[in-house]
Amino acid sequence: MSAPLLSLSRRIRRTPFSGRVMASGVKAYTVYNHMLLPSVFESPEEDYRHLKTDVQVWDVACERQVEVRGPDAARLLQMLTPRDLSKMAMDQCYYTPMVDETGGMLNDPLTLKLAEDRFWVSIADSDLLFWIKGLVYGLRLEVDVDEPDVSPLAVQGPKADDLMARVFGDTVRDIRFFRYATLPFEGHDLVVARSGYSKQGGFEIYVDQWDLGEPLWDALFAAGEDLNVRAGGPNLIERIEGGLLSYGNDMTRENTPHECGLGKFCQTQTAIGCVGRDALLRVAVEGPVRQIRSLAIDGEALGPCGDLWSVYANGKRVGRVTSAAWSPDFETNVAIGMIRMTHWDDGTKVEVETPDGMRTATVRESFFI
Ligand code: THG
């Protein structure tokens, strides 16, 4: 792989794990929330195979937390999302589309409820903090909003339970999907959730003390030697197969949650106070006219989709592809795109304009699982 170098500076923040990541031989980084996000160690294909077979430790410190605390915290959170938060339990994480007053997606974070009046919003790549601070100031809400120095470390893969049990004890096995427990590591309580940006299962540890980063990393690697633990990161191939969306790539402020296939996370009727509620109630009546779909693109392996690739049918543009990669397991190029309703049915044949020329492709209603 040959690529230009990334000039490091204070704007591109390091993480508590950066030293260990470099020592592990990271080969490529991306930047996410103004922070380093390791993306490749061996190669995308080798990292993918290993993630699906063993267990990986991921520096996902770039999943920054926006902390909201104070008497108006719960009310403010419900303003941000059309997902009904009224029944959220104290040990829960919710996948929460967040929208502006037009119903446009601003971010798709996980929200963790830490107390009745305290939440972490674990953001995707957009400066959600500014929007939240604007609402707080404009509406004179009684909350504090900031970005505490909390750095998630993910443990992902089929052997994640075994590795985590060795470091945190067997109680981690009892943590249910999208729930968390507070567990001690070296005498310090850490939030440990069963979540993560892969479909292989695993956990995320919210490291809220910089100095714990390297000891935790080292403990996981020491405990996991015979499990073949390795450093990894969110894997492009695996996340496209599984249909995990990437904000800024697969969706932007131009899209509603319904277009993104996130309608199942919206209870707009009962999400009283949501800033985008009126707009979303209106679009929910008619339904979206384009929606996220999975695609299989025929032919040789394609490079990553750095830009939009137009999708055509009978010479007319009917959508675009926003993410693509060669899948070794499905032996085709797997892709995510936004497709107009006239062509979004399962099995519809289309053509995709790639940098390697026009390719035939098939629209799919389910992801590759
Ligand atoms: N973990 C944490 N923070 C994050 C991410 C994460 N912030 C950035 C980014 N990822 C936010 N986006 C997503 C997208 C998908 C999922 C999580 C965060 C996800 N989705 C599952 C799915 O679609 O199958 C499950 C959703 C559900 O059933 O509730 O996991 O990964 N801390």
d(CA 59, CA 179): 20
Q: Per the confidence metrics, is the pTM higher than 0.85? A: yes
Categorize the per-residue pLDDT at 221 as very low, low, confident or very high, splitting at 50, 70 and 90. Answer: very high
Q: Is residue 128 part of a domain?
A: no
Ligand 1 centroid to Cα of residue 131, in Å, is: 21
Measuring from each residue's beta carbon to the nearest atom of ligand 1, which residues come in under 6 Å?
Answer: 63, 95, 108-110, 122-124, 152, 178, 195-197, 204, 244-245
Is the pLDDT score of 1 beyond 70? Answer: no
Categorize the per-residue pLDDT at 2 as very low, low, confident or very high, splitting at 50, 70 and 90. Answer: low
Ligand 1 centroid to Cα of residue 315, in Å, is: 36
Look at the chain and report how many structural domains it folds into. 2
Tally the residues of the chain: 369
Give me the pLDDT at residue 245, please: 98
d(CA 197, CA 204): 9
Residues 103 and 96 sit within 8 Å (Cβ to Cβ): no
- What mean pLDDT comes out for the span 173-177? 98
Do 179 and 58 share a structural domain? yes
- Ligand 1 pocket mutation pick from 37, 92, 95 by most atoms within 8 angstroms of CB: 95
Is the pLDDT score of 303 beyond 90? Answer: no
Model confidence over 316-329: pLDDT tens digits? 999 999 999 999 99
Do 30 and 163 share a structural domain? yes
Q: Is residue 270 part of a domain?
A: no
The two tokens of residue 94 are 């919710």
Ligand 1 centroid to Cα of residue 101, in Å, is: 23
Do 299 and 200 share a structural domain? no
Segment holding 50, helix H or strand E: helix 44-53
Measured over all CA atoms, what is the biggest interatomic distance in the chain, rounded to whole angstroms? 64
d(CA 260, CA 255): 7
Angle at 336 between CA 331 and CA 339, to 5 degrees: 125
Do 320 and 174 share a structural domain? no
Categorize the per-residue pLDDT at 292 as very low, low, confident or very high, splitting at 50, 70 and 90. Answer: very high
Is the pLDDT score of 257 beyond 70? Answer: yes
- Ligand 1 pocket mutation pick from 66, 110, 119, 250 by most atoms within 8 angstroms of CB: 110
Taking the CA of residue 243 as reference, the ligand 1 atom at the shortest distance is 23
Ligand 1 centroid to Cα of residue 365, in Å, is: 20
Do 323 and 212 share a structural domain? no
Domain range enclosing 35: 18-63+150-239
Ligand 1 centroid to Cα of residue 157, in Å, is: 15
- What mean pLDDT comes out for the span 205-223? 98
Is the pLDDT score of 3 beyond 80? Answer: no
- Residue ending a domain, choose from 204, 239, 274: 239
Model confidence over 75-120: pLDDT tens digits? 999 999 999 999 999 999 999 999 999 999 999 999 999 999 999 9
Do 308 and 193 share a structural domain? no
Give me the pLDDT at residue 4, please: 82
Q: Is residue 248 part of a domain?
A: no
What mean pLDDT value characterizes the chain?
Answer: 97
- Residue 334: which CATH number? 2.40.30.110
Ligand 1 centroid to Cα of residue 312, in Å, is: 30
* Residues facing residue 183 across a β-bridge: 190
Give me the pLDDT at residue 284, please: 86
